[in-house]
Structure 1
């Protein structure tokens, strides 16, 4: 995040006996924890809710992807700007604005009633999250003395991890026993309490040197480029990869990225200084950070569809099955940090990428009747790999940036995470859908579906891409079972192809990391978290 290595102006701390509540660092930590918990919870509960959102709102697969991607894209393009606004005008102010906005948009999502409104409010939720998240660590840095700051960040990371780990269970309980809207409405009481606590205890902090012009044109160019790239990827299943719309928008996105890069070399205060990428370790570290969340969020998306729609597990059961992923990522963070401290980021990031590659290839064993014990090794390996890469990526990116660019480098890492996650869900679900479209007819025939019925059902691949088998009225039970079997096999064919893509990306990431990443020259005492 942008604030993670920015040192605020010197402060005079009162004696402990005379310390006011606004000077109490532990109360500040409690206050920012409310925002952290909401964002961490939303990161994992939406995957549980997606199958229900799709069925209840009659959403297509592309629309369901945008429930996730609109949030991630909005968050990604505004993170650096959110941090800079806090630096200049006050971190407390923008944290609280983000908290209130995140809470209100969460309620709006729960009351929306239509998929278009859900997508729009999710984008707004991402924008408010981008105002809140970059300023949490900046607030902690302003009140904690250096010797205790590492402990504070450890607790900060633990809150984030606990929220992420609790998401599948909390989301499963709410979806199963209330409705999917409750997954978002639960943020209302959490946000209300967080606002009261924040108003009472949070101090104002900002950088006296933060006065500079904002790179508004850079923000707009980057946002437009990301939308132009991700949107056709999401729509490629219906448009086709070779269609004029797909190729035209992808080309536009690349051109806009080029214009953004050119602009950043010519403005006095760039959003993202291009000189940073002259360092190979920083460039590779950024790419691997993006791959990390590409694999994590993309894999979770289709795994949740598999567990609930193909295997028929309830939301709570699906949450319990994926809990090893969240828990092992918590264990992996201190392990990765220890390896990073002793050997530098290269070893931890390489091992993390190899573990994720092993997890991806392990998912090739999924079948229509896989038992839960057969899934856990892949989930454990994925969690370990993600946690190790996260723990070591700060030094690879921030540690290889000049000190004056440390905050921007932290924002670069956070942006890489969000963009990687957005592309992960878009690309992998597109790959899955394309593979299903090309194999569905043959899978129906292989399963024993009559030829004329297979011809008819092969055109209904949208539902199958979500793992849902069509219900055919008036056919014998044996034929319906064959339809279900064929649909499941087609979905798994797509899932296996997506797993091969992620496995190959992770192997590439491991090779690049081992060959090019080196220990940074800038001291990084704070792990940059997402």
Structure 2
């Protein structure tokens, strides 16, 4: 098989894998499959944001240090990002149904174990396991949708799938705030148990195993090790860069190691009989553009959203629940827009919706760069709604472009690429925009402090104040007179908002670049071949 064949002309596959016949009974029914998959995906997407609300309570209850609490998030993120592509390959080899069910069971079990843990060490260990099992089920979910839905219905299915992810991600802080405030931090994890049991039962009854005729028969163990090490070095450098400093030898060392390992991995793939990622996949310009687009979208969205929570809670003084409610316009537009985007992409192809979506994201980011301390709810809601409206077609369309331009036997790898691109983009966006924010705060703080005629501070005190202001917190010491406290709060919030504005401007520019990348996309080659071949 030549590399050209892999990319541009998928091998002929059995009728039930490329264009499924109408399902008889429950097993394999496309819309029921989507429902079963959505329950599991919801559980993982929700966990990505809900836990952040529980971290302060975990720290207090278990006597954890700040580094321990960071590892609760970082351990999960690292395990998820490092394992996604390998997990997708496992699904291609052993079947996406089996991989999905194992992922669901493991995720629910590790969630229960976290809730029962009496030490922060155990919490971190089981969070890593959570990430590994989450990596198993996310690419498998896309593989199941690709194999179950005929081509003309796939975009709608991915639209609903994207809606579930968007709603769960944005709804995490709201649900987390309610559970932590009224129940306990353990309930944030225990809630996954009944959801996981429900998803497992539906999966056992409904999901049908689909395997391509030429699915991989072996594993590239060396490639798995190299790619895992490369992803670890990259994500770890992005996580720790703001703490170490971007010019620190440790940050540069991990980034350099990631580059070297990625190069060695790419070279190794040319000499393996069944490579982990056939490099010929990337000869498909639309598929490559879809991966880049997903990275840039996640960069702008997740990096920007990182500051929004601080802005709402620390500048406007909202509770976690109130700040989550203020993000409902974003969530609502993603819920409404994702299925509509699936319809539009099916009818017109992905290019126009993707370009339009990223233009909307760019406008929203530039608009959010104009937020001030006194910006009202209506103005914020308009920008949040426009952001959600733009994200919906990008989430759906980029996923379809990546998965649809990969051959059926690599649908799991394609799903892993899609999820890995989101993780890398989100980590990169948070790191880069955080660095932009930090630089702006450091550049303005001293002058703003003097302009407000506040008592002079030495460089060490200024550094401490800067660290607090970078998350929107006024550095007010106990016993500070009220009139001085008000001035410090004004300086802190003004400086924070200025840094946030710069970060949103950069995110807007990235979104414009993403809109240009979106012009290179087109409907999946395999989807085109299957159009009209089956009906639900």
Question: Is the structural similarity TM-score above 0.5?
Answer: yes
Any residues of structure 2 matched to 1:424-439 within 5 Å, and which?
A: 424-439=429-444
Unpaired runs of 5+ residues, structure 1, are: none
Corresponding residue number in structure 2 for 1:184: 189
Corresponding residue number in structure 2 for 1:374: 379
Deviation string for 1:98-149 (max 9, x for gaps)? 1122123323444557766555443321210111222235446666788887
Corresponding residue number in structure 1 for 2:330: 325
- Secondary structure class of the residue paired with 2:464: coil
| Aligned with residue 298 of structure 1, among 282, 299, 303 | 303
Corresponding residue number in structure 1 for 2:6: none
Is residue 130 from structure 1 mapped to residue 135 from structure 2 by the alignment?
yes
Is residue 490 from structure 1 mapped to residue 499 from structure 2 by the alignment?
no
Indicate if the aligned counterparts of 2:164 and 2:335 stay in contact, CA closer than 8 A: no
Structure 2: distance between partners of 1:359 and 1:148: 30
Is residue 252 from structure 1 mapped to residue 261 from structure 2 by the alignment?
no
Is residue 522 from structure 1 mapped to residue 526 from structure 2 by the alignment?
yes
Is residue 314 from structure 1 mapped to residue 319 from structure 2 by the alignment?
yes
Q: How many residues are paired up?
A: 517
Deviation string for 1:501-526 (max 9, x for gaps)? 21111111222333x33455332679
Corresponding residue number in structure 2 for 1:105: 110
Indicate if the aligned counterparts of 2:230 and 2:262 stay in contact, CA closer than 8 A: yes
- Secondary structure class of the residue paired with 2:327: helix
More displaced 10-residue stretch of structure 1: 436-445 or 473-482: 436-445
Measured at CA, do residues 446 and 221 of structure 1 come closer, stay the same or move farther in structure 2, by a change above 3 Å? farther
Indicate if the aligned counterparts of 1:234 and 1:430 stay in contact, CA closer than 8 A: no
Structure 1: distance between partners of 2:378 and 2:240: 35
Indicate if the aligned counterparts of 1:276 and 1:282 stay in contact, CA closer than 8 A: yes
Indicate if the aligned counterparts of 2:86 and 2:413 stay in contact, CA closer than 8 A: no
Corresponding residue number in structure 2 for 1:239: 244
Structure 1: distance between partners of 2:149 and 2:513: 40
Corresponding residue number in structure 1 for 2:358: 353
Structure 1: distance between partners of 2:514 and 2:144: 34
Deviation string for 1:366-416 (max 9, x for gaps)? 223332222112211211121111222245434444666555434322321
Taking structure 1 as the reference length, what is the TM-score of the superposition?
0.84
Corresponding residue number in structure 2 for 1:96: 101
Measured at CA, do residues 282 and 204 of structure 1 come closer, stay the same or move farther in structure 2, by a change above 3 Å? closer
| Aligned with residue 445 of structure 1, among 439, 443, 450 | 450
Structure 2: distance between partners of 1:506 and 1:158: 20
Structure 1: distance between partners of 2:511 and 2:22: 50
Deviation string for 1:345-373 (max 9, x for gaps)? 22222111111111111121222333222
Any residues of structure 2 matched to 1:176-215 within 5 Å, and which?
A: 176-199=181-204, 202-203=207-208, 206-207=211-212, 209-215=214-220
- Secondary structure class of the residue paired with 1:451: coil
- Secondary structure class of the residue paired with 1:384: helix
Structure 1: distance between partners of 2:486 and 2:60: 21
Structure 1: distance between partners of 2:133 and 2:85: 13
Measured at CA, do residues 405 and 65 of structure 1 come closer, stay the same or move farther in structure 2, by a change above 3 Å? same
| Aligned with residue 411 of structure 1, among 413, 416, 420 | 416
Corresponding residue number in structure 2 for 1:270: 275
- Secondary structure class of the residue paired with 2:419: helix
Measured at CA, do residues 167 and 249 of structure 1 come closer, stay the same or move farther in structure 2, by a change above 3 Å? closer
Measured at CA, do residues 423 and 278 of structure 1 come closer, stay the same or move farther in structure 2, by a change above 3 Å? same
Deviation string for 1:269-310 (max 9, x for gaps)? 112122222333332221111111122222222211221122
Larger RCO (alpha carbons 8 Å, 6+ apart): 2
CA positional deviation for 1:320: 0.8
Is residue 383 from structure 1 mapped to residue 413 from structure 2 by the alignment?
no
Structure 2: distance between partners of 1:343 and 1:81: 33
Indicate if the aligned counterparts of 1:72 and 1:422 stay in contact, CA closer than 8 A: no
Structure 1: distance between partners of 2:273 and 2:515: 36
- Secondary structure class of the residue paired with 1:475: coil
More displaced 10-residue stretch of structure 1: 500-509 or 49-58: 49-58
Corresponding residue number in structure 1 for 2:515: 510
Measured at CA, do residues 128 and 202 of structure 1 come closer, stay the same or move farther in structure 2, by a change above 3 Å? same
Unpaired runs of 5+ residues, structure 2, are: 1-9, 532-536
Structure 2: distance between partners of 1:121 and 1:184: 11
Structure 1: distance between partners of 2:432 and 2:119: 25
Structure 2: distance between partners of 1:432 and 1:168: 23
Indicate if the aligned counterparts of 1:68 and 1:422 stay in contact, CA closer than 8 A: no
Structure 2: distance between partners of 1:184 and 1:446: 47
Corresponding residue number in structure 2 for 1:500: 505
Measured at CA, do residues 111 and 375 of structure 1 come closer, stay the same or move farther in structure 2, by a change above 3 Å? farther
| Aligned with residue 48 of structure 2, among 19, 37, 43 | 43
Deviation string for 1:55-109 (max 9, x for gaps)? 877765x876665454344223322322332333343432222112212332344
- Secondary structure class of the residue paired with 2:457: helix
Aligned alpha-carbon RMSD (Å): 3.6
Measured at CA, do residues 146 and 423 of structure 1 come closer, stay the same or move farther in structure 2, by a change above 3 Å? closer
CA positional deviation for 1:36: 2.3
Indicate if the aligned counterparts of 1:69 and 1:426 stay in contact, CA closer than 8 A: no
Indicate if the aligned counterparts of 2:212 and 2:409 stay in contact, CA closer than 8 A: no
Indicate if the aligned counterparts of 1:446 and 1:486 stay in contact, CA closer than 8 A: no
Measured at CA, do residues 224 and 413 of structure 1 come closer, stay the same or move farther in structure 2, by a change above 3 Å? same
More displaced 10-residue stretch of structure 1: 43-52 or 95-104: 43-52
Deviation string for 1:213-242 (max 9, x for gaps)? 212222222222122223233323332222
CA positional deviation for 1:159: 4.3
Structure 2: distance between partners of 1:24 and 1:345: 26
CA positional deviation for 1:313: 0.5
Deviation string for 1:289-345 (max 9, x for gaps)? 111112222222221122112221011111110111111122332443344344432
Measured at CA, do residues 427 and 83 of structure 1 come closer, stay the same or move farther in structure 2, by a change above 3 Å? same
